[in-house]
Amino acid sequence: MALATVPALLIASSPVDAYAGSADHPTPGSAGLGDRLYPTLGNGGYDALHYDLALRYATSKPSQGIDGTVTMVAKATQWLSRFDLDFSGSGVGSISVNGRSAKFVRSGEDLVITPSRSLPKGRLFTVTVKHFTAEPTVPDPNQLLSTAFFITPDGSETSGQPNEMHAVYPSNDHPRDKASFSFRMDVPAGETAVANGVLTGKHTSGGRTVWRYEQRQPMATELTQLVAGDFAVIKRSPVNGVAVRDVVPTRLVSKYNSILPVEKSQLQWMRKRVGAYPFDVYGSLIGDADLGFALETQTLSLYDTAWFTYPRGVWDPVMLHELSHQWFGDSVAPWEWSDVWLNEGHASWYEFSYADEKGYLEDDAGQPNFTALMKYLYSLGDQWRANYGPVALPLSGDVYDVFSNQAYGGGALVLYALRQRIGTPAFERLERTWVTKYRGRSASTADYINLASRVSGQNQTAFLKAWLYGTKTPPMPGHPGWKVAPVGSAPTVAPAGPLKLGTFQLRR
């Protein structure tokens, strides 16, 4: 670990030799945070504050694996006798805690670490995992989220949402435990390496180039993006002080150079609706792979090339969808994965609003206008509750339940019902207040319900719980004539375009 890359405040406070003076009895941290959908994901007993991630790609082959070292700075939330890190990669070299060698065993997808001395509650500590290894694989187009570390013709990229980033590097892999990041990526000279955040340095020596990045705002591990290979970084002019850069396979620059700058006007569009962009940099990453989804990796949204075979009325709103996630899902992360509607419902809401305004809604969702789309989604409400569970209560952790039509269209429909109930001015205040109050944090469905009540000046608990947790779709405020189709019946309106293809599931 190069301590110089860890925030100075954390280093100064690190209790390397502070172990005495507590009456508490050390106990193990829990193996899991108790997420309803992924009970063993994440770990208890500590709060991760910063990751220093150093990766080496030995060759320029797209299938090249990584040899890495990660140092996590964390605060003990209990007196720890041992603790876990999530990791399911191929190998581990050694582990130390506060500079001292630590014992460890692999148990399922965890590293169970026993430090040489117990860790006091409330104190900072560091854990370093040296020479962990992970290998990229070819994505399976028939299985959504088939690999977190994937191969393209040009190099490798990552897509760890919701519960797979620990296949790439050891971490506390749950969005409830966000942290800042430093990245050091060592690749053969002539190759490009990109990670989340801002490029802070680049040095070439002895046929190798080291690229350094800093993601200073907190980030959930599942939003990590690691790119290495034959890519070009295209710098755009800033938007309201936000740096803009795109990462594209070098051989495809001419194709995408004129498409991707739409993100600049989209940044302005979102800023007008929900306030300042929450990070230092934004851009798009193109992966020439058959992924079947786009993904909001923090500061660098990932798209596979298939999106751009659709008309502009599809890919343009999808880019707005991923951008809106930087506020809803990235800056404000879900407290647990049952809260994913807060990510996808909001991103779909702004996608549909943007598509309607730009005249793309027919291509994007198969409906002539925003109200017609909401009426159509409403007609499917009971069917989706039967298929996938209530909006904030997915049936299982299977990715097709987590990222179902219910999270996307159903989540947007909840927001529409709330706007109908409290009015547009209050709803817009709520949206701005949400991303401001919880900026850089994780927040739950209960937090959203409470804030909606406070901002609107009325208790919205019963109303929103019925919409989010009920097994039947409630009446739509302002539209007493809207009907919900019986479960098992054919849709009353045949959708066109991507909605028919089920790409709610694929937009992420």
DSSP 408-446: IIIHHHHHHHHHHHH-HHHHHHHHHHHHHHTTTEEE-HH
Residues 269-306 as b/e (b if ≥16 CB within 10 A, e otherwise) read bbeeebeebbbebbbbbbbbbebbbbbbbbbbbbbbbb
> Could you give the residue ranges of the DSSP H alpha helices within 228-261?
253-256
What the block records as the tokens of 216 is 């200073």
**Residue 412 identity (one-letter amino acid):** A
pLDDT at 437: 98
Q: How far is Cα 240 from Cα 245, in angstroms, rounded to an integer?
A: 14
Whole-angstrom distance, CA of residue 55 vs CA of residue 214: 14
Instruction: Tell whether the torsion through CA atoms of 322, 325, 326 and 330 is positive or negative.
Output: negative
Domain definitions of the chain by residue range: 1-143+167-227, 332-507
Q: For residues 62, 66, 71 and 77, what is the CA-based torsion angle, rounded to 10 degrees?
A: 80
Judge whether 373 and 412 are in contact, CB under 8 Å: no
pLDDT at 24 (0 to 100) = 60
Q: What is the pLDDT of residue 482?
A: 98
Is the CATH code 1.10.287.130 the one for domain 1-143+167-227? no
At residue 392, φ and ψ (nearest 5 deg) are -100, 20
Q: In what order do the strands lie in the sheet with 149-152?
A: 149-152, 155-158, 226-229, 192-195
pLDDT given at position 16: 34
Rounded distance between C-alpha atoms, residue 72 and residue 47, angstroms: 10
Return all residues near 254 (Cβ < 8 A) that are at least 6 apart.
none
pTM of the model: 0.93
Q: How far, CA to CA in Å, does 7 sit from each of 69, 126, 270?
A: 17, 12, 31
* Spatial separation of the C-alpha atoms in residues 326 and 350, rounded to whole Å: 12
pLDDT at 19: 38
Rounded Cα distance between 289 and 304, Å, is 6
Whether the CB-CB separation of 456 and 422 falls below 8 Å is answered with yes
Q: What is the pLDDT of residue 491?
A: 53
Tens place of pLDDT per residue across the chain (508 aa): 333 333 333 333 333 333 333 446 899 999 999 999 999 999 999 999 999 999 999 999 999 999 999 999 999 999 999 999 999 999 999 999 999 999 999 999 999 999 999 999 999 999 999 999 999 999 988 888 878 999 999 999 999 999 999 999 999 999 999 999 999 999 999 999 999 999 999 999 999 999 999 999 999 999 999 999 999 999 999 999 999 999 999 999 999 999 999 999 999 999 999 999 999 999 999 999 989 899 999 999 999 999 999 999 999 999 999 999 999 999 999 999 999 999 999 999 999 999 999 999 999 999 999 999 999 999 999 999 999 999 999 999 999 999 999 999 999 999 999 999 999 999 999 999 999 999 999 999 999 999 999 999 999 999 999 999 999 999 999 999 999 999 998 554 433 334 433 444 444 4
pLDDT score for 493: 42
Q: What is the largest CA-CA distance in the chain?
A: 72
pLDDT at 146: 77
CB 483 within 8 A of CB 376: no
Q: Which CATH architecture has domain 332-507?
A: Orthogonal Bundle (1.10)
The whole-number pLDDT of residue 3 equals 31
